[in-house]
Amino acid sequence: MSTKNLTVALAGNPNSGKTTIFNNITGARQHVGNYPGVTVERREGFRRYQGKELLLVDLPGTYSLTAHSLDELVARNVIVNEKPDIIVNILDASNLERNLYLAVQLLELERPVVLALNMTDVAEARGLKINDELLSHKLGISVVRMVGNRNRGTDDLLQMVSDATAANEHQPFNLDYGQEIETKIKLVTEALEALTGVKYPLRWLAIKLLENDQDVSSAIKLVVGGSKILSLVEQARGELKVIFNDEPELVIAESRYRFVGEVYRQVAPANNDLGKTTSDKIDNVLTHRVLGLPIFFGIMWLLFNIVFTVGAYPQEWLEQGITWGGAFLGQNLADGALKSLVVDGIIGGVGSVISFLPNILLLFLGIALLEDTGYMARAAFVVDRVMRAVGLHGKSFIPLLLGFGCSVPAIMGTRTLENPRDRMVTILVAPLMSCSARLPVYTLLTAAFFSPQLAGTVLFSVYVVGIVLAIFMALIFRKFLFPGAAEAFVMEMPPYHLPTIRSIFTHMWERSILYLKKAGTLILVASILVWFATNYPTNVEYSKDYDQEKTQVEESFSAQVTQNILIPLQIENPEDNEALGALVSEIAAINDGKDKDEQALSAAAIADKLDELQQAQSILYPYAMQYYEFEQEKQSETEKIDKEQAGEKLAKSYAGQFGKTIEPVIRPLGFDWKIGVGLVSAMAAKEVLVSTLGTIYDVGEVDEEDSTSLQEALAADPAFSPLVAYCLMIFTLIYSPCLAALAVLRRETNSWKWPAFSFCYSTALAWIITLAVYQVGMMLS
């Protein structure tokens, strides 16, 4: 059996089920990167089949290879430059005629092609019967029937790919464009034969030149003798324009559409009795002119409440595990800088972010379900009226919706917009969508300051603020920065279908791995830097002698115990009376809300237990209770001094000094210097705000065994309140995109001007909006 490695490129229209089939074939053996030189996501997967190691490349979804968009350009360049062994063209069988246009263009690239008719169950449900044998004969390639979301036909496809590559036969495909155009194609092809270093198929190259393809023309211009070819092409185009009284590219496209229409009518005879499909009936409700928008917001509200309520349980389990890990390391590491770095810096910082992984997964689960069922396209249609009011159209909504997952793919997703004005406006407002990196911040603050009944609604309101601001800023940018008429909304409505479990969980797995990688790299580095900044310099000159104050507390405690307990009982030390010590321990346990079996006690039960003790040991009980109260007072005073000392040390650290410097700027927003340090560090990645606060508040804890969770620490901080927490969420939502988003913005716009503008306008807007929210909140409180 051959062990040859084969490269298989998967091509297809958006919503044709390409990703589902890719996941079915590769399973977990896949990874995500970018195509060289461009910010287009590249998905690759592996599958061993009949002794062959298959490398599958998932090309960007595209309707054609005319290269009007970056997706189209990347897809065809992969086919031409990387020369995959075979192309699998995945077609939506229920929209066969439209999908065949891409198939014809793929065949013109003169590479081996296998046709996968996906969603044949949907086509049959509509009464559409496709003669796949006749289709195979007409196009001269193999055709396989598939139902991707049920994993039907996957083995047949793999067998067909294996057979086609083993046969190593490729039947040339030449579409007849008519005598006039064919004459010019032959003329240009013969001229191209004289060139050296041409990597494109000559007939395809001649057609692209006649279509005035700018990318191909630029490539030919760099070849020796290319300028003469371009002059010949320009003359040929001029003659064709005179003959047809139209642009040659339109005439060529019309010929393709005519051929596709003829093939479609032959392989899929018309059925006039189809009636309304199930998708049509569902659309009557979900895309209703009045109900569509409320339904959409209702779905999003439900999603965010599920993210918060359901995610709270696994999040709590993770937090408990992280706390246990930190306590274990704290007990087994020697006191010093290393212990502080590991427990406070790494566990306190990175652990705080990792604990929100369940919420991230639930958010991506919801988005994946909306995408894979086909509702996302309907959402774009529903909000088209709103988008059109600000000079955009519904197609811009898809990149914006991607922003709920991450701003990076949202910015990259704008390349599907053909209008450059629409693209730039969408790029600038996309970071206003609440990405998953902000979700840990929202979840932390809502859990700390709002009841479970309100938490979901508070979280939803922050997302709504982002959407409203995006619309408002898009209106301003469209009017003043990028004026011009808005384009009409044209978008395909794919049929509804059930997503596959494998596709959903593969999507969640990919995103969780990316999230954990960020936690293990960027956030880890940021946490270590923040730990260093909050712990150094070590030689702090305190404003008073804290050790002396603690000594005074200890002396006061000893004097009280001697005067009120030891002298009356005629003992020198509390340990001299074992019954007293046992009674004090029992009183302490009861006041902590535990009985002898470590069972929780109610307030009434605590009072009853203390009464029983008093009656049982009426003589010793008053002394034991006094000793317990004196000890609690000593512990409280000592903790107060320790926290005051830790607070002063933190305030005089590098982080504290920096925070104090910027505090005057953020004080009108209700923020103190600790929040300022967190916001600055979170410019790298928004999750870092949580890890920074985790590190800062862990530094403030002096007794690791009694240290509270970050939520409790924030709630106990007088600088925080529900209003401040909400303002911090709003500021986090609006201010500067993360470094990764700014870097992608620079690559997409090919200029540093727009990343700088995005940073400045969003941060200024965040300050203004947060100031308004805080001041209004203070007036109402």
Looking at per-residue pLDDT, the higher value among 726 and 487 belongs to: 726
Domain that holds residue 233: 179-267
Verify that 362 and 508 share a domain, yes or no.
yes
Structure confidence at residue 707 (pLDDT): 34
Measured distance CA(28)–CA(48) in Å, rounded: 13
Structure confidence at residue 733 (pLDDT): 95
In a domain, 30, yes or no: yes
In a domain, 306, yes or no: yes
Q: Provide the whole-model pTM.
A: 0.56
The domain total for the chain is 5
In a domain, 587, yes or no: yes
Residue 147: CB atoms within 10 Å: 20
Verify that 770 and 748 share a domain, yes or no.
yes
Query: Are the C-beta atoms of residues 135 and 106 closer than 8 Å to each other?
Result: no
Positive or negative, the CA dihedral 204, 207, 209, 213 is: negative
pLDDT tens digits, one per residue of 36-73: 444 456 788 888 888 888 899 888 888 887 766 667 77
pLDDT tens digits, one per residue of 294-345: 888 888 778 767 776 787 778 778 777 777 777 777 777 777 667 766 766 5
DSSP string, 301-320: HHHHHHHHHHHHHHHHHHHH
In a domain, 566, yes or no: yes
In a domain, 567, yes or no: yes
Record the tokens describing residue 311, joined without a space: 């995610």
Verify that 412 and 510 share a domain, yes or no.
yes
pLDDT at 108 over 50: yes
**Which of 575, 609, 642 lies at the terminal end of a domain, its last residue?**
642
In a domain, 287, yes or no: no
Amino acid in position 699: V
Closest by CA to 62, choosing from 28, 96, 22, 106, is 106
Verify that 554 and 636 share a domain, yes or no.
yes
Helix (H) or strand (E) holding 48: strand 41-49
Verify that 595 and 469 share a domain, yes or no.
no
CATH classification of the domain holding 253: 1.10.287.1770
Verify that 737 and 610 share a domain, yes or no.
no
Verify that 675 and 737 share a domain, yes or no.
yes
In a domain, 114, yes or no: yes
Amino acid in position 44: E
Residue 589: CB atoms within 10 Å: 15
Strand positions, DSSP E, 62-198 = 86-92, 113-118, 142-145
**Which of 642, 675, 707 lies at the terminal end of a domain, its last residue?**
642
**Which of 642, 663, 696 lies at the terminal end of a domain, its last residue?**
642
Looking at per-residue pLDDT, the higher value among 754 and 71 belongs to: 754
Measured distance CA(538)–CA(608) in Å, rounded: 49
> Judging by beta carbons within 10 Å of its beta carbon (0-12, 13-18, 19+), is residue 564 exposed, middle or buried?
middle
Instruction: Report the percentage of the chain scoring pLDDT > 90.
Output: 17
pLDDT tens digits, one per residue of 606-663: 788 888 888 888 888 888 898 888 888 998 898 888 777 777 777 788 878 888 888 9
DSSP string, 64-98: -SS-SSHHHHHHHHHHHHS--SEEEEEEEGGGHHH
Structure confidence at residue 122 (pLDDT): 82
Verify that 459 and 607 share a domain, yes or no.
no
Verify that 635 and 673 share a domain, yes or no.
no
Verify that 161 and 186 share a domain, yes or no.
no
Query: Are the C-beta atoms of residues 492 and 377 closer than 8 Å to each other?
Result: yes
In a domain, 188, yes or no: yes
Verify that 464 and 395 share a domain, yes or no.
yes
Verify that 595 and 693 share a domain, yes or no.
no
Structure confidence at residue 259 (pLDDT): 92
Structure confidence at residue 413 (pLDDT): 65
Measured distance CA(323)–CA(345) in Å, rounded: 13
CATH classification of the domain holding 65: 3.40.50.300
Please compute the mean of the pLDDT values over residues 188-200 and round it to a whole number: 83
